[in-house]
Amino acid sequence: MSVKTIERKVLEKNDQVASSNRDLFRERGIFVLNFVSSPGAGKTSILERTFQDLGKTMNMAVIEGDVQTDLDAQRVARYGVPVIQIVTLGGCHLDAILVRDAMKNLDLNGIDLLFIENVGNLVCPANYDLGEALKVVILSTTEGDDKPLKYPGMFLNSSVLIINKTDLIPYVKCNLDELKSSALRINPSLKVFEMSCFTGEGLPEWCDWLRKKGAVEK
């Protein structure tokens, strides 16, 4: 049996479970986002700022994926947000089965938004549907402006691009216009947010968008 045949069978099983996950989310009226990025791009920081701005108006929960520790889950829990940690023990991505199993320990009653924070990786998570409504790819300015061209699959399969750490643009080698242009050439339908968790730039627009999307699911 070839490697491609094995991979296809694995993805087919994953997609079946992802479809069941999606049906459950739709039945519950939960808007689900799959956060994907390189390590250190700021996924957890964006979640923290989102909790600060939306915590009084929307009910949120998080499924945290990490290779080894539960440090990010501890950060999330400080905001009183229900969180379940998945430790992949070296695995480079989450899959739909892991998400399904994690949900068994998460009370979804009354939840408006569910964030799935994937393992830091711009390759493997691109191919795995978890049952989310949308993939959100997060790219920090400190990574440079060539990541869309290096990892086109992730940007092609995502619906939203958050360019984080915009406050550092004067100090790093990153052409913001070139970054956006490259990403949009790969996926012209990307919704783009420019954001800084330090200054708060872009947070109001992001949170307004989440409110509207969450309301549509209900």
- For the domain made up of 3-217, give the CATH fold: Rossmann fold (3.40.50)
Is the separation of the CB atoms in 60 and 33 below 8 Å? no
Domain boundaries, the chain: 3-217
d(CA 138, CA 164): 7
Is there a contact between 31 and 133 (Cβ–Cβ < 8 Å)? yes
According to the model, what pLDDT value does residue 8 have? 67
pLDDT of residue 2: 52
**pLDDT computed for residue 173 by the predictor:** 94
Per-residue pLDDT of the chain (218 residues; tens, 9 = 90+): 454 554 566 689 999 999 999 999 999 999 999 999 999 999 999 999 999 999 889 999 999 998 877 788 889 889 999 999 998 888 899 999 999 999 999 999 999 999 999 999 999 999 999 999 999 999 999 999 999 999 999 999 999 999 999 999 999 999 999 999 999 999 999 999 999 999 999 999 999 999 998 876 65
What's the predicted TM-score (pTM) here?
Answer: 0.93
User: Residue 52: its pLDDT value, please?
Assistant: 94
Give the pairing type, strands 191-194 and 160-164: parallel
CB 82 within 8 A of CB 61: yes
pLDDT, residue 90, reads: 80
The overall longest dimension of the chain from CA atoms, in Å, is 53
Q: What is the pLDDT of residue 1?
A: 46
